[in-house]
Amino acid sequence: MTYNVSQHEGWVILRLKGKARNNEPIRAKRHLLPWLSVSGVRVVVDVGGLQELGVWERGLLNSLRKEVDLLNGTLRLCSLDPTLRVQFRQDRFTEAFAIYPDVVTAMSAREEDNERDGKDGPRR
């Protein structure tokens, strides 16, 4: 799996691509730690490049969610392809993650959506 990390308008944009390897959450944490060290961090994870939602991919997303939660931050996912969208629904990931169609929509969603839904916005 590869990670492309950038910042835009106060958001950390993380683009995931490929297939996770064994212990991917540990590898990712080393790579992403500098980006996930600020209280109130706002992160959009673009999962459009993921090939599957296997055990290690799930572990990585849950690890990111926990890190961001500890920092009282915001985590939003976007760009799910139709196959992964079905997997997300089956695995109840839609209950744990806010999912948006694209990066721009994820960044521009209002904070009121967070409070109303109890998460970071509408599930799509």
Beta-bridge partner residues of 8: 11
Per-residue pLDDT of the chain (124 residues; tens, 9 = 90+): 998 999 999 999 999 999 988 888 888 888 888 888 899 999 999 999 988 888 888 889 999 999 999 999 999 999 988 888 888 787 777 788 899 999 999 999 976 454 433 444 443 3
| 2-117 is classed CATH 3.30.750.24 | yes
- pLDDT of 124: 37
The model's pTM? 0.84
Quick one: DSSP state of residue 33?
G
- pLDDT of 112: 47
Whether 52 and 80 have beta carbons less than 8 Å apart is answered as no
CA angle (78 as vertex; 76, 80 as ends), nearest 5: 135
Q: Map out the domains of the chain as residue ranges.
A: 2-117
Beta-bridge partner residues of 17: 2, 49
